[in-house]
Amino acid sequence: MLQFHKGNFTYLCNVLSKKDKHLRSIINEHGHPPMWTRPNTFQTLVLTILEQQVSLASAYAAFKKIKERVGYITPQKILALKDEELRACYFSRQKIVYVRELANAILSKQLQLKKLEHLTDEEVRHELKKIKGIGDWTADVYLMHVLQRTDLFPLGDIALINSLKEVKRLHPHITNEDMLKIAEPWRPYRTIASMILWHSYIKKREIKLQG
């Protein structure tokens, strides 16, 4: 299970930049990407669920609102809130269901986050996807940012795919299979390539990230 960390992240970016001229041009123009990581907590997974299929600004608005209400987010605090209280924190009907399911899975020990650190990528994905509302994109983001695994390429991430199309000037309707072929030479460091591509996307649009 390969992982990136502070000691090797810049080195891995440079390895990829030598392999791929487009990734090299991003680093030359914008510098190395930040090493985006998150702690292995319930609160992190709540944020990741909030990020599903919405803008980062919308997700952070809901995350900020719930933290203002309860402070540090725990399963117990989520389950103590009524639906209307969660809706007042900008949670959609679906996401209320998802965070409650996740809270119950954590409390019942169906899902034990610390144990995931010792599993393979596919085993982690299998365990997470048992929870209603967690699919491949959420599992990919967790593997990348929390467990710091090096070889994820989340095709469900719109910003990543749009950046890939921009940087490599791809056809707008390129297939997922063809995009995976383009990413193949980046193995086993496709996570790092993804972060370089996200870096380009964010810099070009002058997006201000919060956290």
**6-20, 142-156, 197-211: the lowest-pLDDT one:** 197-211
**pLDDT at 210 > cutoff 70:** no
In this predicted structure, the answer to whether residue 70 has a pLDDT above a threshold of 60 is yes
Residues 6+ apart with CB under 8 A from 46: 63, 66, 73, 78, 99, 102
> Which CATH number goes with the domain that contains 17?
1.10.1670
Number of structural domains found in the chain: 2
In a domain? residue 211: no
**Quick one: pLDDT at residue 144?**
98
pLDDT digits (tens, 9 = 90+) for 111-155: 999 999 999 999 999 999 999 999 999 999 999 999 999 999 999
Give the residue from 128, 146, 164 where a domain finishes.
146
Domain residues for the domain of 162 are: 9-36+152-205
Least confident of 37-41, 78-82, 157-161: 157-161
Provide the sign of the torsion angle of the four alpha carbons 62, 52, 1, 196, taken in this order. negative
- Is the domain of 87 the same as that of 114? yes
What single-letter DSSP state applies at residue 149? Answer: B
Does residue 119 share a domain with residue 30? no
Residue 141 and residue 50 in one domain? yes
- Asked whether residue 4 is domain-assigned, the answer is no
**Domain closes at, from 146, 165, 197:** 146
Q: Cis omega before residue 188 (within 30°)? A: yes
Give the C-alpha distances (Å, rounded to integers) separating 171 from 149, 160, 167: 29, 15, 11
pLDDT given for residue 42 in this prediction:
98
* Residue 93, pLDDT score: 97
In terms of domains, do 46 and 95 share one? yes
How many C-alpha atoms does 129 have within 13 Å on its Cβ side? 13
Q: Are residues 161 and 124 in the same domain?
A: no
